[in-house]
Amino acid sequence: MKAVRLVAVGQPLAMQEVPVPAVGDREVLVRVKAAGICHSDAHYRAGDSPAGPLPLTLGHEVAGVVERVGVQVASLKPGDRVCLHYLVTCGDCTYCSRGNEQFCVEGEMIGKHRDGGYAEYICVPARSIVRLPDEIPFEHGAALMCSSSTCLHALRKARLQGGETVAVFGSGGLGMSAIQLALALGALEVYAVDINEAKLELAERYGAIGVNAARVDPVAEIKRLTRGRGVDVAVEVVGLPQTMRQALLSLAVMGRAALVGLTQESFEVYPYTELVGKEAEIIGSSDHLLSELPTLLEFARRGTLDLSEVITRTVPLDAEAINAALDELDRFGGNVRTVITP
């Protein structure tokens, strides 16, 4: 089969002919119908974040159709529409058995530690598979498995309650999911903070109130819009110390800031006035859980979570086209969403 693979760090991905993976007793072979090109993939190619052993087929946002099932798999059959939880976990370790499988001691991410979906087929354990309802296109199913699920996890970590208010810092692909999911979970108002007017317009079409941080101080503006109170939940998806600090400062008394963006830099916190005195919380949020995916897919099936304006382009399973999409992510960051449709 054809697979587009990372052969050497810092080099363009290359098309290789590789064997169709053998299917173990508890595994499922999936014919890939859609594989999202994620900003993380650009980091793996550049070597900013380690992936391997090489050569490795990238692609952790995958949807497709079951081609073949192992002898012990009773829950799925050839032809089923499915999408893949990107973490392959053991199911037995302390973390897995407590439902925190993103910390599984043997956990492997597809497209990072083991072959992913930039290929005609992918093989994963049956327990990593979720059914994809007929109403959801494969391209959406793929994107739901990364950016959308990460946002749902962050909102759940932040313990968002119906009737609360939310600020989302960053209105790219993740932000658009965070806005819609916050509204789906019952947020009264969602403020979208960004410096790009086009993205803020899209955020407003999805029901958010745009705050242009290039024109106003977003913290002061959120305070003004909430009559001095601040928001109950802030979600930061940018990965900058400045926006992390703004997320914290925009919180109301007992507010929770969920940090999703990644940075190696630090940001300032004044413990008394910003955390202790108002019982505010800063919460780290990493990946997502298998158990969150059915809820996410149901939101997408009902159209409550709509990715049609977020996924802007599809490309074939072709090394040149995929490298060009990754080059674009290197230049502009995670705002362009391209899905491979082999």
Q: What residues line the site for Zn ion (CB under 5 A)?
A: 38, 89-90, 93, 96, 104, 146
Q: Closest distance between Zn ion and the C-beta of residue 3, in Å? A: 18
Q: Closest distance between Zn ion and the C-beta of residue 211, in Å? A: 26
Burial class (CB in 10 A: 0-12, 13-18, 19+), 218: buried
Q: Who's near 93: CB < 8 A, 6+ residues apart?
A: 104, 105, 106
Q: Closest distance between Zn ion and the C-beta of residue 260, in Å? A: 12
CA distance 182 to 63: 24
* CA angle, 174 then 284 then 257, to 5°: 75
Strand partners of residue 210: 192
Q: Which two tokens stand for residue 124?
A: 């994963």
Q: How far are the Cα atoms of 44, 69, 95, 323 from residue 40, in angstroms, in the given order?
A: 6, 30, 24, 13
Place of tokens 């609360």: 164
Q: Which is nearer to Zn ion, 38 or 84 (CB)?
A: 38
Strand, helix or coil for residue 65: strand
- Nearest to Zn ion by Cβ — which residue? 38
Q: Closest distance between Zn ion and the C-beta of residue 143, in Å? A: 8
Q: Which is nearer to Zn ion, 97 or 273 (CB)?
A: 97
Q: Which is nearer to Zn ion, 13 or 146 (CB)?
A: 146
Strand, helix or coil for residue 95: helix
Q: Which is nearer to Zn ion, 73 or 339 (CB)?
A: 339
CA 205 from chain centre, in angstroms, equals: 21
Question: Identity (one letter) of the amino acid at 26?
Answer: R
CB 226 within 8 A of CB 165: yes
Q: Which is nearer to Zn ion, 38 or 280 (CB)?
A: 38
Q: Which is nearer to Zn ion, 165 or 171 (CB)?
A: 171
Q: Which is nearer to Zn ion, 38 or 247 (CB)?
A: 38
Closest CA to 84 of 5, 37, 30: 30
Q: Which two tokens stand for residue 184?
A: 């789906």
